[in-house]
Amino acid sequence: MPNARATHLTRRGILAAGGALGLGAALTACGDDDAKSGGSDDKAAAPSGPWSFKDDRGTTVKLDKVPTSIVAFTGVAAALHDYGVQVKGVFGPTTTKDGKPDVQAGDLDVDKVTVLGNEWGKLNVEKYATLAPELLVTTTFDTAGTLWSVPEDSKDKVAKLAPSVAISVFDRQLTQPLQRMWELAESLGADMKAKKVTDAKAAFEKAAARLRAAAKAKPEIRVLAGSASAELFYVSGTNLSVDLEYFKALGVNFVEPSEDAKKATGGWFESLSWENVDKYPADVIIMDDRASTIQPADITEGTWKQLPAVKAGQVIARSPEPILSYDKCTPLLDNLAEAIENAKKVG
């Protein structure tokens, strides 16, 4: 599953197939499939020059100048912010009920962006239009290129207002979308040679080496990726999810849902009743950290509290929709490495 939220949304039938969204003909010319598939045509584009970028749907967006009126899914906006690219508007979980930045907002100054929808699947089209958008940027979690969090019932209206770029986080390791976001930020004028940026990438590589070493030193430690709702506990499979696929490639020993369960959910996850939450032995549990899910400290189910990993205090957070900057992904690696380094075999 791409993430526990994606899992839940797939379960509810929210993620729709049906192809990539069309681009507004008056705003962009598309279909230059001869552009390099690895990134933009002009990564060092000046603010006054033409701009183009080939996204992970194979769609090339071309504009007369580098876009500055950008609207993005909150997590994407947070990644671009880390590279110095600012957006005008965001859609997706941005602030919590108490007005604080949502976990997916990263270091965004949420008071300086226009929030077009503060939850998944909400985007106020009329408000979006007032921003005179030049570009919409989000991710995609399927092969059809469905734009993440763009409402199905208004996607055509959204497409007519500005072209879109999608970075795929489906069935690939974390390093791939990280590189693509890097390329997009660079094309939008970010200084990728800035010390903050290069230091962050170096720290990510160091953290990856640490996680690889931790997994190699303790191959017996079994890690389960979970997500909690009031009714069910979800166990994520490692295939399809950018973070779990990468952690697995580094050697982390993950608990995998049964094949029958994965077939029933498109390969993403298995849903368990709280009475059966102990189905899979685990030494470390990494839990979905998004506001839409129940956090470990708030789980009241007695069966959860009796899990060996829970009793041992071997539960950490997981970000199923990671902010795709090296700065924000480094802690994900370090935290899991530390958990494995300190874990006792309890499962």
* Alpha helix (H) residue ranges in 48-154: 74-82, 125-130
With contact defined as beta carbons under 8 Å apart, do 316 and 339 qualify? yes
Between vectors from CA 26 to CA 21 and to CA 30, what angle results, nearest 5°? 55
Report residue 280: phi and psi, to 5°.
-115, 120
Cα pseudo-dihedral 170, 176, 178, 181, rounded to 10: -80
214 token code pair:
């931790």
Instruction: List the pLDDT tens digit at each of the 347 positions of the chain.
Output: 334 444 434 433 333 322 222 223 222 333 333 333 333 333 333 455 799 999 999 999 999 999 999 999 999 999 999 999 999 999 999 999 999 999 999 999 999 999 999 999 999 999 999 999 999 999 999 999 999 999 999 999 999 999 999 999 999 999 999 999 999 999 999 999 999 999 999 999 999 999 999 999 999 999 999 999 999 999 999 999 999 999 999 999 999 998 887 777 777 899 999 999 999 999 999 999 999 999 999 999 999 999 999 999 999 999 999 999 999 999 999 999 999 999 999 97
Match 């958008």 to its residue by tokens.
Answer: 133
- Say what the pLDDT of residue 174 is: 98
Question: If DSSP codes are grouped into helix, strand and coil, which group holds residue 156?
Answer: helix
- Rounded Cα distance, 145 and 125, in Å: 20
The pTM score is 0.86
DSSP 3-state of 291: coil
Q: Characterize the bridge pairing of strands 315-318 and 269-273.
A: unpaired
